[in-house]
Amino acid sequence: MPRAKEVKAFTFPRVLTERTFHYCPGCHHGIAHRLLAEVIEELGVRERAYGVASIGCACFLYHYFDVDICEAPHGRACAAATGAKRARPELVVFTYQGDGDFAAIGLTESLHAAARGERITAIMINNTVYGMTGGQLSPTTLPGQRTTTTPEGRDPRIYGYPLKVAEILAAFPGVAFCARVAVNRPKRVLEAREALRKAFLAQIEDRGFGYVEFLSACPVNWKLDPVRAAEKVDELAETFPLGVFRDLS
């Protein structure tokens, strides 16, 4: 039987450095990083990309991306990104933030950047806990979910309910693209990639703020093995529905 012709399905993205990720086994940062790198490469914007690294596990963004990256104080990534974009509109500016960074300490900066329709792309990795700090309560922690600061589980009477950022941003006229994605199944990985692409196009085509929220596994702080953690993302999706909430393209 003749051998089937080999087709190169993908290569290592030029935008990623060859450094090995430091992330824990089963963490979804690695997949999100790769998708981000692929999209930057596909859009041909590596040479005008400007990333804002934030706080927590993803603060080492600059070790893995061969683009210009600046660090911002906790929660202020969208404000720093605003400054960079306003100073040099030709740059393709993105932030990469956790749920604590984007939706707790930085919620004001995040919402106002979106409200202004800032031509930036914001990526929020939502794993419902403060990962690097050791698994404390986050604004997105599910009701009943145990964290180190809600040892009996999040009681909504005390801590309220999870903050649904994508749903909030979807109502903003300045937001040109807003989606919530997951990467725990191959099909979803492809959908996540497409969402990222559109969120970047929103700024490249000068239409407005782009936002992609990744539901992401945190096996260590969830105290689950990587497979169970990936499955648990489905449970998260019951509270945080996946989908495109706004697309003005």
Which residue ranges make up the site for another protein (CB under 8 A)?
Answer: 46-50, 52-53, 59, 62, 65-73, 76, 79-88, 90-91, 108-109, 112
Shortest separation between residue 173's beta carbon and another protein, angstroms: 17
Rounded CA Rg of the chain: 18
Coil vs helix vs strand at 61: helix
20 and 41 Cβ atoms separated by less than 8 Å = no
Nearest CB to another protein, comparing residues 82 and 184: 82
Identify the sign of the CA torsion 34, 50, 83, 120.
Answer: negative
Q: What CA–CA distance (Å, rounded) separates 246 from 249?
A: 9
Shortest separation between residue 56's beta carbon and another protein, angstroms: 11
Nearest CB to another protein, comparing residues 6 and 90: 90
Shortest separation between residue 128's beta carbon and another protein, angstroms: 24
Closest CA to 126 of 242, 245, 209: 242
Q: Which residues contact 31 (CB under 8 A, 6 or more apart)?
A: 183, 189, 192
Nearest CB to another protein, comparing residues 48 and 207: 48
Shortest separation between residue 78's beta carbon and another protein, angstroms: 8
Shortest separation between residue 15's beta carbon and another protein, angstroms: 9
How many residues does the structure list for the chain? 249
Nearest CB to another protein, comparing residues 97 and 128: 97
Nearest CB to another protein, comparing residues 131 and 162: 131
Shortest separation between residue 58's beta carbon and another protein, angstroms: 12
Alpha helices in 97-244 (DSSP H): 99-100, 107-115, 156-159, 165-169, 186-204, 219-222, 226-239
Burial 92-126, CB ≥16 within 10 A → b, else e? bbbbbbbbbbbbbbbbebbbebbebbbbbbbbbbb
Nearest CB to another protein, comparing residues 79 and 218: 79
